[in-house]
Copies of this chain bind each other. A is one copy, B any other.
């Protein structure tokens, strides 16, 4: 019985890693679509988000079955409940990658990001891609150093997000209202993407240490 349960728990972990890989792929492609006005790539990110949503539903359904059939307690129970929460978080990260792609699609064939901010958004996307890669890694390894690195990358994202406001609200900004709207929304999407990764890093830390290093739900 315990062996079956362990195999099922391992499968849950593997599924979270697989979901996270898709999110990583989505944010990478969304950033490229944004930087290169690549409509086809933007549309593929938007279409592929359905697959992430489907993975979440499957994973959740299996968590509920596992709770019903195996009646886990203690740490096992926390692993399953955390999987439920982390799948919702990954699904949301997928949505945010889709939103980035939707901004790229809406502004096509024009760049959504004004040249004055292209470098900042290139950096934001790189930071978001690193955040996503480390999220996959921490889900796989449960390595607390990787969890800490996610928090550092999120600080970088927050800093870049503030930088977008400095440009938007500085005297040199001559963008149109549409450009101001797009930069505001994109900045918000990237900031939230980082927050969600932080919530996963904190949940893994909690599972490993049994200690709430701050409340994961406070990461907004």
Contact = CB atoms under 8 A, between A and B. Distances in A.
A71 interface: yes
Nearest to A98: B220
B68 A74 contact: yes
Interface string A59-89: 0000110011001011001100100110010
A218 to B, nearest CB: 6
Contacts of A218: 53
Nearest to A220: B95
Contacts of A169: 177-178, 181
Contacts of A173: 177
A88 B85 contact: yes
A212 to B, nearest CB: 9
Nearest to A165: B181
Contacts of A215: 53, 57
Contacts of A63: 81
A141 interface: no
Contact of A184 (B77, B92, B95, B180): B180
Nearest to A178: B169
Given A177-B168, A181-B165, A181-B169, A77 B64 contact: yes
A14 to B, nearest CB: 20
A184 B169 CA distance: 14
